[in-house]
Amino acid sequence: MNEKNRRVQFIIMPDPRAILFDYLTTFSNPSNSNKIQEEEEPTFLRRISQKRLVSLRKLEDGSYRLENLGTYINGTYEGFRWKGVEGGGYYLLQEGSLKAAFIYPDLQTVMLGNLNVSHPQGPILSSPIIASIRGISWIDGILVPHFQPNEIQNPLEEDPFERKYVAVRISNIPNAGEGLFTKSRVHGHGQILAYFNGKKDLIPSNTTLGHKVCHSFEPNAEYSYTFHPLYGRIRCIKSLKALSADEEIKCNYKYSLKKKPPAWYIDALQVYMDN
């Protein structure tokens, strides 16, 4: 794209989350544009303006996820493009470049890197760098954040999203060892708390912390699926309700009684049934 023809407006701000949230949720609402083409379920394509196209994916709960948003000319995207992924995160891509930014669901935590589109679990980042958003630009009508690398760089040892929101401590459950606790208040149902890659033989076990969550028959969180910028589609821990700061996160492991669960699980179930 000819740089001289690009309309750019740059704004520096300490916390652009509100603008990002409003921008992305506006385009995720199917009622905000006229439908120009409807493909087979669950994908819908909708035109926003003459040179901008947004595609939405309808989810099982009836809501929509932003699939793509960008400048669309002669059947192809040009310039910057937003791509939503499962779990609420977003890629910011630039056509013709392998460099990409992944913005976590909090719209604050960022990972930069080179896009590897051949990964079996979806496009992931190689050579990752942790960053933060220092401002935004409007380039040809597309909102484009500006990123600044963080001083602490250990994305392969500790997930930057988990580092902000959860901590490993001694569990409040007797004889359970370590557990996972919130660092700050969780406002409601469906918030991602931690990731569970589950490949301990390939990566350090503390790279994701979902495996630290202890079992309870009265859980405040559940296992689900999401997209992670380093591992693709993996399991995650999502809140079932609002949680206070420093509250232990607990999931129901839901072991099948037909498959000989561990003895501690049977004992815990018996205690729960007796009470």
Q: Where are the domains of the chain?
A: 3-149, 160-254
Rounded Cα distance, 176 and 3, in Å: 59
Q: Where are the extended beta strands (E) located within the chain?
A: 8-12, 34-38, 43-49, 52-58, 64-73, 76-84, 90-94, 99-103, 110-116, 124-139, 142-149, 166-170, 178-182, 192-196, 214-215, 221-228, 232-239, 248-251
Query: Digits of tens for pLDDT over the chain (275 positions)?
Result: 344 455 555 666 667 888 999 999 888 877 765 555 555 455 676 766 668 888 888 888 878 899 999 988 888 889 999 999 999 999 999 999 999 999 999 999 999 999 999 888 889 999 999 999 988 998 888 999 999 999 877 777 889 999 999 999 999 999 999 999 999 999 999 999 999 986 544 444 568 999 999 999 999 999 999 999 999 999 999 999 999 999 999 999 999 999 999 999 999 999 999 98
Compute and round to an integer the Cα radius of gyration of the chain. 21
Structure tokens at 158: 């500790």
As a whole number of Å, the end-to-end CA separation of the chain is: 68
Length of the chain: 275
Rounded Cα distance, 17 and 13, in Å: 10
Residue 116: per-residue pLDDT: 93
Q: Which residue has the tokens 């963080």?
A: 150
pLDDT digits (tens, 9 = 90+) for 234-262: 999 999 999 999 999 999 999 999 999 99
CATH-assigned architecture of domain 160-254: Beta Complex (2.170)
Q: Tell me the pairing of strands 8-12 and 43-49.
A: unpaired
